A and B are shown apart, each in its own frame.
Chain A
Amino acid sequence: VLIYLLLAGTAAQTVRATLLAFFALSYGVTVASHAATIGIPGPTWMAAGILAPFALLGGFTGRPIGDRLGSDGFAILAIALLAGAGLYTVAAAGVGLVNRQP
């Protein structure tokens, strides 16, 4: 979705807000499906509860920074994150393939 929106020249603030809303919906469904199928253990909920204030603090600290980020800054950050994510995914898959039993 991010690559599509960047290639279509969508405004940075629209991409950011719409992606956040998309994640809220899609991860919300994922949490519900985990809870309903494989289950989420009590200690995981407890750890999430302990860590939630740090997530909210990071979120509320980052929001005004994102508001001030221009379209160039947003695009550079997005491209850097995509490159990092792509490299990590390739490396993790490569290690998995090398270590795979025949």
Chain B
Amino acid sequence: MTLFGWAGLAGTTFAAALLQAVSGFGFAVLAVPLYLLLVDPAQAVQLAIILSTALSFAVVSGLRRTVAPALLLRISAGSLAGLPIGLFSFRYADRLLVRLGAGATILAFAVMMAGFRFRGGRPWAPFARTQTGDLAAGAVAGVATALVGMAGRRC
């Protein structure tokens, strides 16, 4: 790889890490499409997951007091439960159609949340968190991880 290529990877990594540390997510969202311009797809994905893991462990160590352990436990348990369902569905589902549906759903929620925020001047929070809701959100994340490859933002 050329020096220009390495500079591109380093700049992308820094910017994606900054974004994830500020917001809690987004490393893969920014890094993978840009990595794909510089390295092959398999390496791009593996680089993103290795670096995101290292980054998340490093940053969360300073935020331990604000982690909600019970919430983390429930979404992790839900995610583990959803993973086999996603893997099973992966064999039969049309992955492009699933990605299209997932992307359209995310976009629709983003537009609705933005609409409520900018028109009403307050966040759209139509329900309260429950233990069942935490588990269900984790389960959908687990299914989405197996089906379309990314966890946090899908559900």
Contacts and interface: CB of A to CB of B under 8 A. Distances in A.
Contact of B16 (A1, A58, A69, A93): A58
B96 A93 contact: yes
B86 to A, nearest CB: 13
Contacts of A62: 17-22, 59
Contact of B13 (A22, A25, A55): A55
Interface string B1-42: 000001001110111111111111111010001000001000
B100 interface: yes
Closest 10 CB pairs of A and B: A58-B17, A62-B21, A89-B103, A86-B107, A9-B125, A16-B24, A86-B106, A24-B56, A90-B103, A19-B24
Interface in A39-83: 40-41, 43-45, 47-48, 50-52, 54-63, 65-66, 69, 71, 74-83
A89 B51 CA distance: 21
A59 B21 contact: yes
Interface residues of B, number: 84
B62 interface: yes
Report the contact-size class of chain A (Cβ under 8 Å from the partner).
35 or more
Interface of A: 1-10, 13-28, 30-31, 34, 40-41, 43-45, 47-48, 50-52, 54-63, 65-66, 69, 71, 74-94, 96-97, 100
B53 to A, nearest CB: 4
A23 B56 contact: yes
B21 A26 contact: no
Nearest to B134: A4
A76 B117 contact: yes
A87 B61 CA distance: 32
Contact of A14 (B64, B66, B125): B66
Contact of B22 (A8, A57, A69, A75): A69
Given A1-B138, A93-B103, A96-B96, A66 B17 contact: no
